[in-house]
């Protein structure tokens, strides 16, 4: 790793100090030079670090910590808001459901009332119609009985006539009436 | 694809080994030459001369500036790559200081960060081939360790007064043992800066020297130079690890010593 200049310098140093070609670390003639420049380098590094680098990095780290803390707090806030919003939503949903049920019940009651009215009206009409029909049926029945009497009397007279007799209309009518009862 | 590349590279190594075999395969390895301090302008290495030390220290400062200042210049809430690395480094050292040295150690954070950034950048810059590794020199690491030693000692006495000497008086030990332990503690306290500095310089220097030795073998072995080249690759990977770990170790030991100064009781 030694360059030619270093070799040459080493030779020169050896010639100058006459020291053995041992460890350059123990060549005390270079100590002053090394210590002088080391002091300057250390002071320079100390100033660079303490005046500029370390405060800046500390500030950046603190700022980052602050940002992270703020972000976490903001996230916590947003989470609370989300929970709040969800609660509000659930409440609105429950309200709407109750309202819907109320409206449905109301509508049902209204319809029931209308229905009952209609049923009552229909019942009245039906009973009226039934009475009318009964009356008509009674009339028809009476008419039919009368017709049966006439037909029976006519038939009896015709039968009597066919047998060669002379039918007494009044007796036939009485007999028919008598049979009709029995 | 990777396999093909591997075979092509192997063939190239063999062919070049045959074609460019050194005529005199003498082992001319100078593993320590890379640590020479030399003036860039020529002439002697006087105290204020501009040397390769100056150059590579300046590059380390520039790298720290690029990473920590330019990298974080966008101040983005969502960081980019450079800013991420800068923030990770900041967080890594800050947490280390806070965990090891305690809450009241945090006001020393800029100093410890300075040490870590300098050692880290110097170590990594030293891994560039042909570069000069400033942290491989005991002069540099001794100053770093000495700074830590004197800072910690002064802080210890300023914060705790004479109570700082309690660090050497192990009150949990039996009374008869305490003076002996105090002597051991005292010796270990003064050995701290020595081990602190030699650990860093020694690790970095040894790794670089090993790389250079293998490089010398690669030059001398001709056809079989692929063997040391594999070794260089492996050692280089290890050195990348060492470059970070030594910076980390130096820094965490600084924090431990600082903790002793702030809370000297055992």
Average pLDDT over residues A162-172: 79
* pLDDT tens-place string over residues A36-82: 999 999 999 999 999 999 999 999 999 999 999 999 999 999 999 99
User: Would an 8 Å CB–CB cutoff place A4 in contact with chain B?
Assistant: no
- Please state the domain extents for chain B: 51-262
**8 Å CB contact of A1 and B131:** yes
Which residues, listed in sequence order, are joined to residue B51 by a DSSP beta bridge? Answer: B39
- Measuring CA to CA, how many Å separate B253 from each of A120, B40, B117, B121, B204? 108, 35, 15, 18, 17
User: Nearest by CB to B77, which of A2, A42, A64?
Assistant: A64
CA of B198: which chain A residue's CA is closest?
A25
User: Would an 8 Å CB–CB cutoff place B90 in contact with chain A?
Assistant: yes
**8 Å CB contact of A38 and B143:** yes
User: Nearest by CB to A1, which of B76, B118, B212?
Assistant: B212
* pLDDT tens-place string over residues B66-83: 999 999 999 888 899 999
Instruction: Give the pLDDT band of residue A20 (cuts 50, 70, 90).
Output: very low
Please report the pLDDT score of residue B21 as a whole number.
57
Token code pair at residue B30: 């100078």
Over its C-alpha atoms, chain A yields an Rg (Å, rounded) of: 67
* pLDDT tens-place string over residues B79-133: 999 999 999 999 999 999 999 999 999 999 999 999 999 999 999 999 999 999 9
Percent residues over pLDDT 90 in chain B: 70
Contacts of B83 in chain A (CB under 8 A): 60
- Measuring CA to CA, how many Å separate A19 from each of A163, B34, B114? 189, 17, 35
Please report the pLDDT score of residue A145 as a whole number.
85
Please report the pLDDT score of residue B223 as a whole number.
84
pLDDT above 60 for A12: no
Residues B235/B214, Cβ–Cβ less than 8 Å:
yes
- CB proximity list for B38: less than 8 A, separation 6 or greater: A5, A6, A8, A9, A10, A12, A13, B45, B51, B52
Contacts of A69 in chain B (CB under 8 A): none
- Measuring CA to CA, how many Å separate B15 from each of A121, B123, B132, B227? 123, 35, 32, 15
Please report the pLDDT score of residue A9 as a whole number.
46
Please report the pLDDT score of residue A158 as a whole number.
86
CA of A46: which chain B residue's CA is closest?
B114
Q: What is the DSSP letter of B97?
A: I
Please report the pLDDT score of residue B19 as a whole number.
62
Please report the pLDDT score of residue B7 as a whole number.
79
Please report the pLDDT score of residue B172 as a whole number.
86
* pLDDT tens-place string over residues B204-255: 999 999 999 998 888 888 888 889 999 999 999 999 999 999 999 999 999 9
Q: What is the ipTM of this complex?
A: 0.86
Interface of A with B in 25-64 (CB under 8 A): 25-27, 29-42, 44-46, 48-50, 52-54, 56-61, 63-64
CA of A64: which chain B residue's CA is closest?
B77
Higher pLDDT, B166 or A99: A99
The span from the CA of B206 to the CA of B208, in Å, is 5
Please report the pLDDT score of residue B32 as a whole number.
87
Q: Is B39 helix (H, G, I), strand (E, B) or coil?
A: strand
* pLDDT tens-place string over residues B246-261: 999 999 999 999 999 9
Question: How much is the mean pLDDT over chain A?
Answer: 86
pLDDT above 90 for A16: no
Question: How much is the mean pLDDT over chain B?
Answer: 90
- CB proximity list for A60: less than 8 A, separation 6 or greater: B72, B75, B76, B77, B79, B83, B87
Average pLDDT over residues B164-174: 88
The span from the CA of B175 to the CA of A12, in Å, is 60
Question: Nearest-5° angle of CA A11, CA A15, CA A21?
Answer: 60
**8 Å CB contact of A7 and B138:** no
**8 Å CB contact of A6 and B109:** no
Contacts of A64 in chain B (CB under 8 A): 77
**8 Å CB contact of B34 and A2:** yes
pLDDT above 70 for B30: yes
Residues B104/B262, Cβ–Cβ less than 8 Å:
yes
B179-217 in b/e form (b: 16+ CB < 10 A) is eebbeebeeebeebbeebbebbbbbbbebbbbbbbbbbb
pLDDT above 60 for A15: no
pLDDT above 70 for A88: yes
The span from the CA of A59 to the CA of B86, in Å, is 13
pTM value > 0.80: no
pLDDT above 80 for B15: no
Please report the pLDDT score of residue B16 as a whole number.
65
Q: What is the DSSP letter of B145?
A: H
User: Would an 8 Å CB–CB cutoff place B221 in contact with chain A?
Assistant: no
- Please state the domain extents for chain A: 33-181
Higher pLDDT, B136 or B9: B136
Taking residue B85's Cβ as centre, other Cβ atoms within 10 Å add up to 15
Contacts of A46 in chain B (CB under 8 A): 110-111, 114
pLDDT above 50 for B40: yes
Instruction: Give the pLDDT band of residue A182 (cuts 50, 70, 90).
Output: low
Residues A169/A153, Cβ–Cβ less than 8 Å:
yes
């Amino acid at each position: 790793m030694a360059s030619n200049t270093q070799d040459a310098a080493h030779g020169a140093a050896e010639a100058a100090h006459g020291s053995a070609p041992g460890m350059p670390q123990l060549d005390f003639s270079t100590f002053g030079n090394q210590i002088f420049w080391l002091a300057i380098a250390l002071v320079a590094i100390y100033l660079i670090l303490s005046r500029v680098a370390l405060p800046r990095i500390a500030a950046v780290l603190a700022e980052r910590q602050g940002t992270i803390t703020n972000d976490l707090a903001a996230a916590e806030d947003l989470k609370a808001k989300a929970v709040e919003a969800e609660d509000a939503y659930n409440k609105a949903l429950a309200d709407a459901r109750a309202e819907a049920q109320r409206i449905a019940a109301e509508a049902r009651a209204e319809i029931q009332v209308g229905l009952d009215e209609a049923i009552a009206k229909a019942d009245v009409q039906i009973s009226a119609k039934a009475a009318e029909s009964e009356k008509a049926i009674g009339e028809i029945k009476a008419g039919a009985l009368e017709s049966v009497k006439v037909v029976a009397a006519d038939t009896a007279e015709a039968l009597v006539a066919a047998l060669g007799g002379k039918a007494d209309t009044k007796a036939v009518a009485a007999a028919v009436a008598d049979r009709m009862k029995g | 694809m990777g396999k093909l590349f591997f075979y092509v590279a192997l063939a190239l190594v063999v062919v070049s080994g045959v074609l460019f075999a050194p005529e005199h395969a003498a082992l001319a390895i100078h593993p320590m030459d890379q640590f020479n301090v030399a003036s860039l302008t020529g002439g002697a290495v006087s105290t204020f001369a501009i040397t390769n030390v100056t150059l590579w220290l300046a590059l380390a400062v520039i790298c720290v500036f690029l990473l920590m200042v330019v990298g974080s210049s966008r101040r983005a809430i969502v960081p980019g790559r450079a800013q991420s690395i800068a923030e990770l480094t900041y967080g890594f050292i800050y947490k280390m200081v806070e965990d090891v040295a305690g809450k009241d150690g945090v006001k020393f954070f800029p100093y410890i960060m300075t040490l870590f950034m300098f050692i880290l950048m110097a170590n990594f810059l030293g891994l560039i081939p042909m570069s000069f590794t400033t942290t491989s020199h005991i002069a540099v690491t001794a100053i770093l360790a000495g700074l830590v030693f004197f800072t910690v000692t002064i802080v210890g006495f300023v914060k705790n007064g004479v109570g700082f000497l309690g660090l050497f008086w192990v009150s949990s030990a039996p009374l008869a043992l305490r003076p002996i332990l105090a002597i051991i503690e005292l010796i270990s306290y003064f050995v701290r800066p020595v081990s602190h500095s030699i650990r860093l310089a020694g690790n970095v220097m040894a790794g670089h020297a090993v790389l250079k030795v293998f490089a010398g073998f690669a030059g001398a072995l001709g056809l079989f130079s692929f063997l040391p080249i594999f070794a260089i690759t492996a050692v280089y990977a290890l050195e990348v690890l060492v470059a970070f770990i030594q910076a980390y170790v130096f820094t965490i030991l600084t924090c431990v010593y600082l903790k002793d100064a702030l809370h000297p009781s055992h």
